[in-house]
Amino acid sequence: MTPRRIRPFRSGDEAAIGEICVRTAASGSDATGVLADDDLWPAVYAWPYVRRHPDTAFVVEADDGAVAGYIISAPDTDAFERWFADRWWPQFAARWPRPASAQTEQDLLLQSAYERGVAPSPFQALGYPAHLHIDLLPQLQGQGCGRRLIETLAGRLTELGVAGVHLTAVADNAGAVAFYPRVGFVPLSSEPGGRSFGMRLPR
CA distance 18 to 72: 12
pLDDT for residue 146: 92
Which domains does the chain show, CATH number per domain?
Answer: 3-200 (3.40.630.30)
CA distance 121 to 77: 7
- The phi, psi pair for 117, rounded to 5°, reads 85, 5
Virtual CA dihedral for 129, 164, 43, 152, nearest 10 degrees?
A: 150
* Encoded amino acid at 4, one letter: R
CB atoms within 10 A of CB 25: 24
pTM: 0.94
CB atoms within 10 A of CB 198: 21
pLDDT digits (tens, 9 = 90+) for 164-193: 999 999 988 888 899 999 999 999 998 888
Kindly provide the b/e burial profile for residues 178-189, where b requires at least 16 CB atoms within 10 angstroms of the residue's own CB: ebbeebebeebe
pLDDT for residue 35: 97
Does the pLDDT at position 1 exceed 50?
no
pLDDT digits (tens, 9 = 90+) for 106-164: 999 999 999 999 999 999 999 999 999 999 998 777 788 999 999 999 999 999 999 99
Does the pLDDT at position 49 exceed 60?
yes
By mean pLDDT, which of 2-6, 33-37, 72-76 is the weakest? 2-6
Does the pLDDT at position 3 exceed 70?
no
